[in-house]
Amino acid sequence: MIAGHPGTGSEEIVVAGLTKQYGKLRAVDDLSFTVRPGRVTGFLGPNGAGKTTTLRMLLGLVTPTAGRAGFGSRRYVELDQPLRHVGAVLEASSAHRGRTGANHLRVICRAAGVPVSRAAEVLDLVGLTPAANRKFKGYSLGMRQRLGIAAAMVGDPRVLILDEPANGLDPEGIRWMRDLLKMLAAEGRTILVSSHLLSEMQLMADDVVIVAAGRLIRQGPVDDVLGAMAGGAQVRVRTPQPAELTTALTAAGAGVTELPDGALSVTGADPAKVGHTAFAAGVELHELLGERADLEQVFLQLTAGKAEIR
Amino acid sequence: MNLVRAEILKIRTTSTWWVFGIIMLPLWALAVLYNWGTANISGGVDPAESGLSADQAEQLRVANEAVNVATTLYTSGQFLGVLLVMLLGAIIVTNEFFHLTATTTFLVSPVRERVITAKLIAAILLGLVFWAVTTILNLIVVPFVLHALDYSAQLGDPAVWRAIGLNALAFALWAIVGVGAGVLIRSQLGATLTLSIAYVIGTFGASLVFYLLTQYVADWFSKLQVLVPTTASTLMISGTELPGNPPRWVGAVVLIGYAVVTGFLGTLIVRRRDIS
């Protein structure tokens, strides 16, 4: 093993039986999941679901009541040079108000034993170079998020963890961040992003981990989770011969229900298959529309009744 | 070592240190004037004819010895200087919580006692800078003051240099106390106010309490007064052994005790605390 290069497997985030009890409140409850490298993983849950607490336990900032969280088999504190392995963006406003952005990063470089020149590189990476010598108190929320990401990239880490990074970013900023994270994942890094903005996650994440009330609700590739929960994608079809089409589709193994407006809703078949079946049966079609399940619907469905204020 | 350099960079890249430095200068000037005035007044009193008790007369006689006048003057600025250094030590810690940078700091170095150790070292170095500046100023100005009081400069007396050296130790130890206190009281404002008030009011309050105890309860209470940290640091820098007071090293021991307890307690607490 090369020095400073943790063994294989340490790029995988492993959370096992993780529990945190705050007084009477069980903020995180026997939570287990894994996050794979080379993909963007969305960590989803309503506010108060225990996302931030989980991330803080993963990073050694909060002590778990039970269970463990780490990188491969190692906990954060056991990593040799943690900043070279894991970068984290936890709070947008985490810099001294009177310190400039560049100095904030220089302090981190110093502490991490990275050449101070790295500060300018990461500033450039996040597009903050023009504001490098301005004090932090003059930064907008979006600039603060960018500075946070720059700080996380100081050690050029293999694993990147971001807590609600889209907060305070304008649409342009969100798009920028999405592209950056996808690029970093394409380089083989592990990216874990917590968010309650589902539409954003649908655009960005390859995998999702959904939690509510401190418990795991579902984990897997976005498409699988969507498919499994909405009973697969649905196809909306309108025809003057509904009886014939229903017979043909049922024979082809699809499920058909009639909608109140007279159209048919087909499950278990994609639009191409529905069109082909209709063509083969000589049925005339007036409308054929594939309806993708929406992560937001699935999410609300999954977390219904579990997102109460605790 | 990286962490110490990072802590020093943190101090350098904010304005707190030079604001405190600017506050320090008039306070130092005031301290020199105060010590000059005191020496002038007590020097004009003849212990034999002042109607003082034998003990008090003896104390006054010793205090008026050239070497003791000199050590007091050459360490001018200690009382308020160590207060500022203690506050800076506390702020080095409370800043992290006030500005939410504790998260970043402990991500860079998850072994938290290393962070506190780095902060202790940085605070000590900062304390020594304050000591060095006041000492240089004293070395420039005090010979003139002593001359005005009809004493020689006394710089040939090793007791003067020992007092100056022990004064450095006092600055360093108070910096440690500050860092420890900053961990115990995490609120920036809370820590600053509590420490300032405890330092100033506490010093005079404790003197009063010990005076009353000594007068009305038992004489031996006066021996315990060295337990008051400010008394301990004043005792450390006296030129000769003062009659009626514990020896100098007791002051040093008491102050080291406070530094060790607060530093140790602070580190222990930071190790266990959840950072959120």
| Pair A199, A249 in one domain | no
Q: Look over chain A and give the mean of its residue pLDDT values, rounded to a whole number.
A: 86
| Pair A194, A276 in one domain | no
B104 touches chain A (CB under 8 A): yes
Domain span holding position A240: 234-291
pLDDT of residue B58: 76
Average pLDDT on B65-80 reads 87
Separation CA B137–CA A38 (nearest Å): 62
Separation CA B201–CA B195 (nearest Å): 10
Task: Look at residue A136 and tell me if it is in a domain.
Answer: yes
Tell if the CB–CB gap between A82 and B99 is shorter than 8 Å.
no
Domain span holding position B114: 2-272
Taking 90 as the threshold, does the pLDDT of residue B48 lie above it? no
Tell if the CB–CB gap between B9 and A103 is shorter than 8 Å.
yes
Average pLDDT on A46-65 reads 91
Q: How far does A238 lie from chain B, in Å, by closest CA?
A: 55
Task: With beta carbons less than 8 A apart as the criterion, state whether B160 and B238 touch.
Answer: no
pLDDT of residue A307: 52
Taking 60 as the threshold, does the pLDDT of residue A246 lie above it? yes
| Pair A21, A64 in one domain | yes
Q: How far does B94 lie from chain A, in Å, by closest CA?
A: 11
Among residues of chain A, what percentage have pLDDT more than 70? 90
* DSSP letters spanning B100-153: T-HHHHHHH--SHHHHHHHHHHHHHHHHHHHHHHHHHHHHHHHHHHHHHTT---
Separation CA A136–CA A144 (nearest Å): 8
User: A159, A194, A220 — which closes off a domain?
Assistant: A220
pLDDT in tens, A6-52: 445 788 999 999 999 998 889 999 999 999 999 999 998 888 889 99
Sheet with strand A255-258: strands edge to edge: A255-258, A264-267, A234-238, A287-291
Please choose, from the candidates B47, B77, B44, B74, the residue with its C-alpha nearest in 3D space to the C-alpha of residue B60. Answer: B47
The B residues from 14 to 33 touching A (CB cutoff 8 Å) are 14-16
Task: Look at residue A129 and tell me if it is in a domain.
Answer: yes
pLDDT of residue A198: 76
Taking 90 as the threshold, does the pLDDT of residue A66 lie above it? yes
Q: Which of A243-257, B23-37, B46-60, B198-212 has the lowest mean pLDDT?
A: B46-60
Chain B positions touching A100 (Cβ under 8 A) are 13
Does B129 or B61 have the greater pLDDT score?
Answer: B129
Confidence tier at A171 by pLDDT (50, 70, 90) = confident
| Pair A92, A215 in one domain | yes
pLDDT in tens, B191-240: 999 999 988 888 888 888 888 888 888 777 777 878 888 888 888 877 67
Q: Return the ∠ at Cα A69 (arms to A67 and A70), rounded to 5°.
A: 145
- Max distance between CA atoms of chain B, in angstroms, equals 68
- Alpha-carbon separation of residue A271 from A19, A232, A248, A280, B152 (angstroms): 44, 12, 14, 14, 104
| Pair A66, A214 in one domain | yes
| Pair A164, A239 in one domain | no
Burial B117-129 (b: 16+ CB within 10 A, else e): bbbbbbbbebbbe
Among residues of chain B, what percentage have pLDDT more than 70? 95
B113 touches chain A (CB under 8 A): no
| Inter-chain contacts counted by CB atoms under 8 A, chains A and B | 86
User: A165, A194, A220 — which closes off a domain?
Assistant: A220
**What CATH number is associated with residue A259?**
3.30.70
Most confident of B129-138, B178-187, B240-249: B129-138
Q: Which of A38-42, A231-235, B20-24, B114-118 has the lowest mean pLDDT?
A: A231-235
pLDDT of residue A75: 93
Tell if the CB–CB gap between B2 and A113 is shorter than 8 Å.
yes
Q: Which of A1-10, B102-111, B134-143, B266-275 has the lowest mean pLDDT?
A: A1-10
A91 touches chain B (CB under 8 A): yes
| Number of alpha carbons in the 13 Å side-chain half-sphere of residue A307 | 14
Tell if the CB–CB gap between B6 and A108 is shorter than 8 Å.
yes
Separation CA A266–CA A273 (nearest Å): 10
Mutate to test the interface with B, among A74, A96, A135 (most CBs of B within 10 A): A96
Task: Look at residue A308 and tell me if it is in a domain.
Answer: no
Taking 70 as the threshold, does the pLDDT of residue A92 lie above it? no
Q: How far does B101 lie from chain A, in Å, by closest CA?
A: 5
Q: Look over chain B and give the mean of its residue pLDDT values, rounded to a whole number.
A: 86
Mutate to test the interface with B, among A61, A86, A153 (most CBs of B within 10 A): A61
Number of domains chain B is built from: 1
Q: Residue B104 class from Cβ within 10 Å (0-12 exposed, 13-18 middle, 19+ buried)?
A: buried
Confidence tier at A292 by pLDDT (50, 70, 90) = low
Separation CA B147–CA B144 (nearest Å): 5
Tell if the CB–CB gap between B14 and A99 is shorter than 8 Å.
yes
Taking 50 as the threshold, does the pLDDT of residue A260 lie above it? yes
- Alpha-carbon separation of residue B172 from B169, B216, B231, B259 (angstroms): 5, 37, 16, 9
Taking 60 as the threshold, does the pLDDT of residue A60 lie above it? yes
Chain B positions touching A111 (Cβ under 8 A) are 2-3, 5-6, 105, 108-109
The A residues from 232 to 251 touching B (CB cutoff 8 Å) are none
Chain B positions touching A60 (Cβ under 8 A) are 106, 110
Average pLDDT on B96-102 reads 87
Taking 70 as the threshold, does the pLDDT of residue A228 lie above it? no
Task: With beta carbons less than 8 A apart as the criterion, state whether B101 and A95 touch.
Answer: yes
Residue for token digits 């009281």?
A: B185
Closest by Cβ to A94, choosing from B3, B101, B111:
B101
Helix, strand or coil, per DSSP, at residue A68: strand
Task: Look at residue A254 and tell me if it is in a domain.
Answer: yes
Q: Which of A9-18, A123-132, B131-140, B208-217 has the lowest mean pLDDT?
A: B208-217
Number of domains chain A is built from: 2
Token pair of B208 as six digits: 């009063």
Tell if the CB–CB gap between A110 and B6 is shorter than 8 Å.
yes
| Pair A127, A242 in one domain | no
B196 touches chain A (CB under 8 A): no
Helix, strand or coil, per DSSP, at residue A158: coil
Task: Look at residue A43 and tell me if it is in a domain.
Answer: yes
User: A186, A220, A254 — which closes off a domain?
Assistant: A220
| Pair A171, A258 in one domain | no
Tell if the CB–CB gap between B100 and A94 is shorter than 8 Å.
yes
| Pair A271, A191 in one domain | no
- Phi/psi at A282 (5° precision): 70, 30
pLDDT of residue A4: 42
pLDDT of residue B51: 67
Task: With beta carbons less than 8 A apart as the criterion, state whether B182 and B88 touch.
Answer: no
B248 touches chain A (CB under 8 A): no
| Pair A166, A238 in one domain | no
pLDDT in tens, B81-92: 999 999 999 999
Task: Look at residue A307 and tell me if it is in a domain.
Answer: no
pLDDT of residue A182: 93
Task: With beta carbons less than 8 A apart as the criterion, state whether B237 and B260 touch.
Answer: no
Tell if the CB–CB gap between A93 and B106 is shorter than 8 Å.
no
B6 touches chain A (CB under 8 A): yes
| Pair A103, A129 in one domain | yes
Please choose, from the candidates B166, B6, B163, B189, the residue with its C-alpha nearest in 3D space to the C-alpha of residue B95. Answer: B189
Cα torsion A121, A127, A133, A139 to 10°: value is: -140
pLDDT of residue A1: 36
Tell if the CB–CB gap between B101 and A96 is shorter than 8 Å.
yes
Tell if the CB–CB gap between B107 and A61 is shorter than 8 Å.
yes
Taking 50 as the threshold, does the pLDDT of residue A2 lie above it? no
Q: How far does B131 lie from chain A, in Å, by closest CA?
A: 26
Does A304 or B266 have the greater pLDDT score?
Answer: B266
Average pLDDT on B20-25 reads 89
Instruction: Please give the residue of chain A at the shortest CA–CA distance from B99.
Output: A96
Chain B positions touching A90 (Cβ under 8 A) are 103, 107
| Pair A196, A255 in one domain | no
**DSSP3 helix / strand / coil % (chain A, rounded to 5):** 35, 25, 35
Average pLDDT on A181-207 reads 89
Task: With beta carbons less than 8 A apart as the criterion, state whether B109 and B115 touch.
Answer: yes
Task: Look at residue A208 and tell me if it is in a domain.
Answer: yes
pLDDT in tens, A141-166: 889 989 999 999 999 999 999 998 88
Separation CA B72–CA A117 (nearest Å): 48
Task: With beta carbons less than 8 A apart as the criterion, state whether B126 and B88 touch.
Answer: yes
Task: Look at residue A69 and tell me if it is in a domain.
Answer: yes
Closest by Cβ to A77, choosing from B101, B110, B275:
B110
Instruction: Please give the residue of chain A at the shortest CA–CA distance from B97.
Output: A94
Chain A positions touching B6 (Cβ under 8 A) are 107-108, 110-111
